[in-house]
Every structure is written in structure tokens, then in C-alpha cells.
Amino acid sequence: MTQLTRAILIVLDGVGAGENPDAHAYGDEGASSLEHCAQAIGGLELPNLGKLGIGNITPILGTPARQEVVGSYGRMASAAAGKDSTTGHWEMTGVVLSKALPTYPHGFPTEVVTAFEQAIGRKVIGNKVASGTEIIKELGEEHVRTGYPILYTSADSVFQIAAHQEVIPLTELYQMCEVARSMLTGDHAVGRVIARPFIGTPGAFQRTEHRRDFSLAPTGITLLDRLKDAGKDVIGLGKIEDLFAGRGLTQRDHTETNHEGMDSTLNWLEKDFTGLLFVNLVEFDMLWGHRRDSQGYARALRDVDQWLPQLQQRMRPGDALFFTADHGVDPTYRGTDHTRECVPLLAYGEPIRAGVDLGVRPTFADLGQTLAEAFGVEALTAGTSFARILGLV
């Protein structure tokens, strides 16, 4: 048996694999991101992911099930309340929320907005669900004229504040976010407060790279905490540090795009470390799923599929690779929200027994518990390990 040295956990953000058992409670009956995306474009060929077993998990037109695969495969159902990124990532690392993080499809209530305005000494404008690029087009000119920050939210549990850097300097915008973070507790404890600075002139406003997230810390002990406490490396790529408020990480690279995340993953695999490389590839959700763009969603999946052989070439004998997701965002479904779905589970590498059908796991936390056992650290409070089934212990 090859001892596990490094685990590469890649989250394809928003890539669901069929409705969750409780999808009806979320109004998401029949949602199936991978299946419906492939149908919508007339077929989606993912030959490299197919070799790992992705076609054995859920029907994908163009990527059929295979008799022989080099990975092991299954699906994981969500047991947590809520269908956002924070909830999904916490669940897969062992913290299963019994109450969903608050979302605000109709904007924030008056008492929250008024208290925030009083605390920062300014009125706000907006206060609705919006795309970040669209709301600065719509309200940017009024903001520049009045100095009122733009408040908005999304399908996720977020309180976002947009401001022009020449109207409200970055230090002041960040202070406003810290004020909001300290106020948003209890029933209004949103997952993230996000500073969204922009520059430019009316008709040509653009967001800058100075976004900053002020996150809610996980409400329990995560796999990241266990690994770090045991002296392992825990490297977060993409928005991982935001989702965990930086906790449990030893190193981070806040990549913004899928390609940046994939390049950074390859770079990290050239380095010596022992522990977890935790990667979030966000564009399935951020760019394509919410916009219900099946072509873009499929293109992003093909990009990952074409990149996979480069990743495999850089894997060492003690490396195990896992692909999963945090929720669905079916690009063919009604509305623009996330969809309550099971997520894919693929496992590959020398330490992994190939061809194992892992079935449907009852919680994402099974993955975190599996990695905890495989690394020999203290068990998490949720989840059932399948490390033995995979040959990891």
C-alpha cells in the first residue's frame, strides 16, 4: 500500500451531479447540472474525466459510463442546510450546518440597513440582489455624485459594498466592511462581507483587484484545522481562504480565474509539501452557471478535462487527487440561483484503489473524514470515512 503524502482536492464550484434527496424543499426538483449542460449543447465530451469515472456518476451525453476506469467514483449528497459555497466547503471539511446562512433575495431589512448607515455616517444606495458589474453601471454615477456606498447581495450569503476608490478610499471602504462584519451576527451572520472597489468614469466603470473578503469563521473544527494542528501543510488556492476566514491554512494563493487556479496547482505540485492542496475553481458558478450559459459552462469543463493530463504527469507516488463540488448551479434551470444537488466524487492516484463505486454518500463530510483518517489526524465530528474502501488505510 502506498502511503498518502499529498492530497489534491479540487472543487469545481457549482458543478452538480443530480438533485439532492431534499431538492424539493429548495424548489430545485430535477436539477442536474452536468446532465442538463451536456444535453443543452448536444453532447459534452470529457475523455480524461471519463477515464476517472465521471460518466459513471451521472448521465452525460458524450461521456458515457465506462466498464474500466482508472479512478474511483460516486456522488455525495448534502446534509447541511443551505446551498451556497461557504456551506458546501464547510460540510466537506466536517462542519455541517443545521441552519442555513442567511440570504436576502429581497435586499437587507430596514433595521440592518439603518444601523449600518448610522454606524458609517452615510446613507447607502442599492440594497438589492445584483450582479457586481451591472450595479456599478446602474448606480455608479449616483454614488460618485452623492458619496453613498452601493450595498448589494447575491444568491450567496454575502453583504457587498461597492465604492469608487477616488470617492471612498480603500482604507475607509475596508473599515466600513469591518463595521458591517462586527454588526452582522446572530440571525444576520452572513457568510462574507465583501469590499468591491471600482474605478473609472460613467459608462466605463471597472472593478479593481482590491476586493477584500471579511468572512465568518467556521463554526466548528474543520479538516484544515486538524491537518494544520498536526503539522501538515494546508495550501488554499482561489477563494478557499475567504470561505474559511483564512483559518487552518499554512499558505494561500488567491487566484481569480480557473486558468490561474489550474496553473497555480501545477506549480504547487512541483514543490515539496506534505498535506492538503485545496483548490477552488470558481468560474462554473461565477461566470456561467448563474447566467444560465450552458456553452460557457461546458467550455470550462472541457478546459479542466484538457488540463487533467498535465496534473496527472506531475503527481508523485504518494499523491491522491479528488474532484468534487460545493453545490449545483444547473445552467439550464429556471431562475439564476444555485441548485440543490448532489456533487461528483472522483478519486485517483497510486494510493487509490481504482474502479470502486462509492455510491451516494449521505454527506459531503464523508470526504473530510476520509482525508482525516488517511492522514492519521484526529477524526472530525461529522462524516463516515471511506478511506479503507479506497485502500488509503
Bind-site residues: 13, 285, 290, 326-327, 338
Binding residues for Mn(2+): 13, 285, 290, 326-327, 338
Burial class (CB in 10 A: 0-12, 13-18, 19+), 141: middle
What nine digits make up the cell of 231? 503539522
* CA–CA gap between residue 54 and residue 48 (Å, rounded): 9
End-to-end CA distance of the chain, in Å? 8
What nine digits make up the cell of 89? 466547503
